[in-house]
Amino acid sequence: MTFCVLVVAKAPVPGFAKTRLCPPATPEQAAEIAASALLDTLDAAFATDGALTVVAMTGDLAEAARGSEIGRALRKATVIAQRGWDFGTRLANAHADTAAVHAGLPVLQIGMDTPQVSPALLTSAIEPVIAKASHAVLGSAADGGWWGLGLADPRQAQVLAGVPMSRADTGFRTRAALEGTGLRVGELPILSDVDTMEDALRVAAIRPDSRFATAVDAVGVVA
């Protein structure tokens, strides 16, 4: 194995998952969309040649949409618990815990709300790091955040603990924090993550045969 795909995920519990999709989605439909996004993301990670999948998980799958199916899928991954008082700290700790389990491997971290990722994209994303063309790679999201972070040394993710998350300038601040430690940071393609129903419709159109697209279609909103 040549690298780890680290998926940062939250149990898709109705009323707590993807609440910005409501309305027009119901809490149950929003949770189904989140669950489908996670399952599609895991499929892509598992199908990526040369990759070990690690999932940093939080929340109660017993209360989640598709909880049993997600639990079965997670048997193929190394599952670690998220820990920390804010999201930046949890991300930093997830990288550190991944490095502790799979020492010496570079890590490509993604979330569960870009279900359009493919094995080919994940492989190409980490390639500059494996080839030592970059110390790190960062994939910007259309909303100003970021969807993917690859690091040759996952311990360098500790800088994330000082970056405000879920802001329009999070991507800019993350790049600045990485470069501020002397890292050479490559650029990945910009992706749209799923925060609003407009986002969901746009992403579903990219993968019309996916679980995610089926869950979005069930809401009954036309693009």
Other C-beta atoms lying within 10 Å of the C-beta of residue 69? 16
Other C-beta atoms lying within 10 Å of the C-beta of residue 223? 10
**Taking a C-beta distance cutoff of 8 angstroms, is the pair 112, 56 a contact?**
no
Percent residues over pLDDT 90 in the chain: 93
Q: Which residue reads 């999932």 in tokens? A: 55
Domain ranges of the chain: 3-219
Other C-beta atoms lying within 10 Å of the C-beta of residue 142? 14
pLDDT digits (tens, 9 = 90+) for 95-142: 999 999 999 999 999 999 999 999 999 999 999 999 999 999 999 999
pLDDT digits (tens, 9 = 90+) for 152-185: 999 899 999 989 888 889 999 999 999 999 999 9
Question: Which pLDDT value is given to residue 6?
Answer: 98
Is residue 216 pLDDT above 90, yes or no?
A: yes
Question: Which pLDDT value is given to residue 34?
Answer: 98
**Taking a C-beta distance cutoff of 8 angstroms, is the pair 88, 160 a contact?**
yes
DSSP label at 35?
H
pLDDT, the chain, mean: 95
Residue 136 structure tokens? 């790190």
Question: Which pLDDT value is given to residue 12?
Answer: 98
CA distance 151 to 49: 18
Is residue 223 pLDDT above 80, yes or no?
A: no
Q: Which CATH architecture has domain 3-219?
A: Alpha-Beta Complex (3.90)
Could you tell me the CA-to-CA distances from 106 to 50, 93, 151, 167, 198 in Å, in that order? 12, 15, 6, 27, 34
**Taking a C-beta distance cutoff of 8 angstroms, is the pair 50, 2 a contact?**
yes
Residue 28 structure tokens? 């149950």
Question: Which pLDDT value is given to residue 1?
Answer: 65
Which residue spans within the chain are E strands per DSSP?
3-10, 51-58, 78-81, 107-110, 136-141, 146-151, 185-191
Name the nearest CA neighbour of 141 among 94, 182, 202.
202
Question: Do β-strands 107-110 and 3-10 pair in parallel, antiparallel, or remain unpaired?
Answer: parallel
Whole-prediction pTM: 0.94
